[in-house]
Structure 1
């Protein structure tokens, strides 16, 4: 733990904010068999000597965020770098007072997964403790406790349960939550709407498996903590997941305040969440109807008797797919659809294959695939750019698959009269905040590198080197491979937001964003 000068409050207590990082490993990749490393503090540190603790350090003025503190302290105290660890849980911060040492601590908990050698990490052998610790041990998280015999620092369990809410849920509910969070984290093919469905289903299944003989404040706090982690697991998709989860919590809250037996409450909660999932099935239909109406009013009518509409899109979206098919079937025009392939997972190619699977004589749809680098060629002469959204900021900026912004910039140059429209559920609107506050999702470089095999000389060597550190010396130069999935499209480039609640303006978006912010604070602020 780094030693900074703690500020002193009016109550005479020294106040210090720290990052507490728990290091986990999952044998055979199974989160149900989780082990957590606790480090025994040495006799040279100023507080809590010889006690088990997470990797801890004060948030310094030069740290951009508590997460930056966590990464710095992990490196200083264990020697591990980002090539050997992966952030997989962000705990809800909290504060407590330890009067015995005159301190008020604010804890920012994090959970990191230790990568094995097979993943390019260094595994346990890569851990080299410094003077602040005299050793470390691996524990089943459920065996960690506050007893004197265990010998942990104050509030050790409280910090742990904030990154491992499974601690309080019981074995069956814990397994459901771990599995659901892992699915959310690892699914890079489904869109935000599908992941929001998974979020609701996970929360519902956790409730089914919980011990609900007594539904009290602790039960409700455990549910909200599970929901917190569901919202935080995929920040890039967090807007849709959070909106859906907050709506689910609102339904749950309305039921648990009723004067009925606990088991009856659980039954009604399950029914309410099933209804929420069923209601979500009609969102695509509503977006589709609004899209067709928009094309009639703003594309066909303004261009006269047009026989063909040229549309540019990219990536895969079930919403866009449904809208395009219905437009081709109901507008009485031919659709000239141009799709960018969308590397590295080629979701654009997936969209093309899904559309071409449909056998319908009433659908006049012609598809052309373009490489991502051909945006300008693909945009030439188009009438409209159609994009989905994974997140919409308060000001109307849209986060979508990488390649979206270049496509629009090319359109503005070669087809300046074309419209840019966003097809999106309103739940993808995020709470108030700046674009820089939304975490960007950076993914494994191997997804890019593996496509180079057989094309680039020595690609196998490149893959081996970069999978280990993502930065090394190749042919005398430093090389870094970045695999970003999403980028922001400024609101100034967007003509219309077509949603499940009709044609929306930026003013509508601001109003919904503020509502999401208030509801999120109501459920999570006091956890």
Structure 2
């Protein structure tokens, strides 16, 4: 991407840092830096990450990052995994006539994969460095490309935090990143707990300017580097907390109990999440009573179809069943590959049934499990297709578990009277501020798919796995996509049920606009330090 303003050519680039963990994932890593050759046009012989321009053909910066890594090191997703994003920034360098827009990324090298690194003509050598030393040691400044240390600190935040704060944020991000069983409501609660742990470890400098910078950057990382695809709720929750913290900061003088007030704000929001979950259950029961059961005749059975592992949906179904005047519930659950959360959801439903309905023998629960491919069969004669929402976008619709769109489309064709109902808090609404990209898909580890094939004894799966691992230069290549989420267009949804009642389009727009304003206010102004 190029242009010109005030004589400087605008260039958007990626800066990709490759990390290895020689002493284990919980220990301090090393970062690979590459010495640019005399064949490149700018910054010859300087130390740099893997970098390159973002093309107009690239759908997003991470695509450009993977391309540059492949070209300059021969590494592929078979031996390298994406780890962290850094907050983009810009700077001018009149010596080369450029205005640079830097998009920092961090990747983790697989154990033993160092031998796979093959540098191309753009570099004359490379070696491993201590990332904290690179960021903090001024002797590196003249050896590196401009603002390398700023790029690195944005993915290796541990370099400028005390050990306890860095550990709290780093370990919290790992927990969020690898949690593939919790719903977005639960993940947001976990993220707020991590944020609380981080703030607790920064008490010693809470009255300094750097504290507010670090606190906002920690919030940014929890959204972008936890589970971004499920991060809209986390973003809205953290923005609400930052707004209240900011009110204390803007007082004429900091009160002596500033730290305690900051922690109280976080605790208040964490406690409030539990009460809001209860309101959603009540609203769902009311919706069923008004829209399904109010037909003037006694219903013998209510049929609900879902594809979910959400505790909110589980509790809402069972509490509605317990409170409504209906003798039987038929619950049809799609298994939800590749992790088969549907089976776990069914088990949780049965456990909840024993807990809530143990004193009555009059109500009957019938649980039917279906394969994902059987959505059209599962939805026949259903009353409700009940879904959660990991994100709500005004332009894209509802982001939910892959398989949700085929289920909804099947319902529209097979059982057009079935109501498509989404259980979602207003905090799931995503704006257009760029923090969470609605075009971005969460591609997860293909080994989850391979693992189920192997466990089931699929014949010749080894040939597929070998082709997958061979890389793009092989004669036969295989891509295995493990995409968790997909979009359901808003016009296909009959009702959004939340703790505030049934959400209207105007309320969703208002929430999106509010998020846009706050995200720009608190994140766009995070300072560049070097």
Give TM-score, length-normalised by structure 2: 0.91
Mapped to 1, the partners of 2:241 and 2:371 lie a distance apart of 40
Q: Which range moves more in the overlay, 96-105 or 498-507?
A: 96-105
Q: Does the residue aligned with 1:389 lie in a helix, a strand or coil?
A: coil
Residues 471 and 480 of structure 1 are in contact (CA less than 8 Å); yes or no, is this contact kept in structure 2?
Answer: no
- What are the within-5 Å matches in structure 2 for residues 335-374 of structure 1? 335-358=329-352, 359=354, 360=357, 361-362=359-360, 364-374=364-374
The 2-side partners of 1:178 and 1:336 are apart by: 44
CA contact (8 A) 2:411 2:418 kept: yes
Pairwise mapping of residues 55-70 of structure 1 onto structure 2 (< 5 A)?
55-70=50-65
How much does 1:464 deviate?
4.3
Contact 2:450 2:465 in 1 (8 A): no
Correspondence for 1:415 = 415
C-alpha distance in 2 between matches for 1:109 and 1:91: 5
Tell me, yes or no, if structure 1 residue 9 matches structure 2 residue 2.
no
What is the rounded CA distance, in whole Å, between the counterparts of 1:243 and 1:279 in structure 2?
A: 14
Deviations 1:153-173 (A, max 9, x none): 222211111112222211110
Other-structure match for 1:248: 241
- Unmatched runs of 5 consecutive residues or more in structure 2: none
Q: Within 5 A, what are the aligned runs for 1:38-57? A: 38-57=33-52
- Does structure 2 retain, via aligned residues, the 8 Å contact 1:38–1:52? yes
How do 1:18-29 residues align onto structure 2 when only pairs under 5 Å count? Answer: 18-27=13-22, 29=24
Partner of residue 327 from structure 1, selected from 314, 320, 328: 320
1:8: Cα distance to partner? 3.6
Tell me the distance in 2 between the aligned counterparts of 1:479 and 1:74. 19
Which of 133, 136, 144 aligns to 1:143? It is: 133
Residue 88 (str. 1) matches residue 79 (str. 2): no
What SS does the aligned partner of 1:305 have? coil
Larger displacement relative to structure 2 (22-31 or 294-303): 22-31
Name 1:178's counterpart in structure 2: 170
Partner of 1:308: 301
Contact 1:213 1:262 in 2 (8 A): no
The reply on whether 1:276 has 2:258 as its aligned counterpart is no
Contact 1:465 1:472 in 2 (8 A): no
**Equivalent residues in 2 for 1:29-40, closer than 5 Å:** 29-40=24-35
The 2-side partners of 1:414 and 1:63 are apart by 39
Q: Please state how far the C-alpha of 1:226 moved relative to its aligned partner.
A: 1.5
Partner of 2:182: 190
Q: 1:120: which partner in 2?
A: none
- Structure 2 residue 66 is the aligned partner of structure 1 residue 71: yes
The alignment yields a C-alpha RMSD, in angstroms, of 2.5
Q: Deviations over 1:481-504 (max 9, x none)?
A: 322111111112110000121111
Query: For residues 355 and 506 of structure 1, what CA distance do their matches in structure 2 show?
Result: 32
Distance 1:8 1:439, change over 3 A: closer
- Report if the CA contact (8 A) 2:400-2:486 is conserved: yes
SS of the equivalent of 1:282 reads: helix
- Alpha-carbon separation, structure 2, partners of 1:274 and 1:111: 32
SS at match of 1:453: helix
1:86-165 mapped onto 2 (5 Å cutoff): 86-116=81-111, 123-145=113-135, 147-148=138-139, 151-165=143-157
- What secondary structure does 2:369 align onto? strand
Q: Which deviates more from structure 2 when the two are superposed, residues 300-309 or residues 412-421? A: 300-309
Instruction: Give the equivalent residue in structure 2 for 1:221.
Output: 213
Counterparts of 2:432 and 2:156 in 1: how far apart (Å)?
27
Aligned pairs (5 A) from 1:484-503? 484-503=483-502
Q: Tell me what 1:507 maps to.
A: 506
Any idea what SS the aligned residue of 1:154 has? coil
- Under a length normalisation based on structure 1, what TM-score does the superposition of the two structures give? 0.91
Which deviations, in whole Å up to 9, do the C-alpha atoms of 1:307-346 show, x marking residues without a partner? 2111111121100111111111100212111111111111
Deviates more, 1:351-360 or 1:381-390: 351-360
* Cα separation, partners in 2 of 1:307 and 1:214, compared to 1, 3 Å: closer
Q: Which of 235, 240, 250 matches 1:257?
A: 250
In 1, are the aligned partners of 2:309 and 2:341 still within 8 Å (CA)?
yes
The structure-2 alpha-carbon separation of the partners of 1:220 and 1:312, relative to structure 1 and needing over 3 Å to count, comes to: same
Are the structure 2 counterparts of residues 54 and 300 from structure 1 closer, same or farther at C-alpha, using a change threshold of 3 Å? same
CA contact under 8 A between 2:393 and 2:438: conserved in structure 1?
no
- Does residue 294 in structure 1 map to residue 281 in structure 2? no
Secondary structure at 1:136's aligned position in 2?
Answer: strand
Moved more, 82-91 or 193-202: 82-91
CA separation of 1:98 and 1:263: change in aligned 2, threshold 3 A:
farther
Aligned mates of 2:206, 2:277 — CA distance in 1: 39
Partners of 1:395 and 1:506 within 8 A in 2: no
| Alignment: residue pair count | 515
Quick check: 1:472–1:480 contact (8 Å CA) kept in 2?
no
Q: Is the 8 A contact 2:433 2:519 kept in 1?
A: no
Distance of aligned partners of 1:410 and 1:218 in 2 relative to their CA distance in 1, 3 Å threshold: same
SS at match of 2:106: strand
1:347-389 Cα distance to aligned partner (Å, 9 max, x none): 1111111111132234542211112122122111111111111
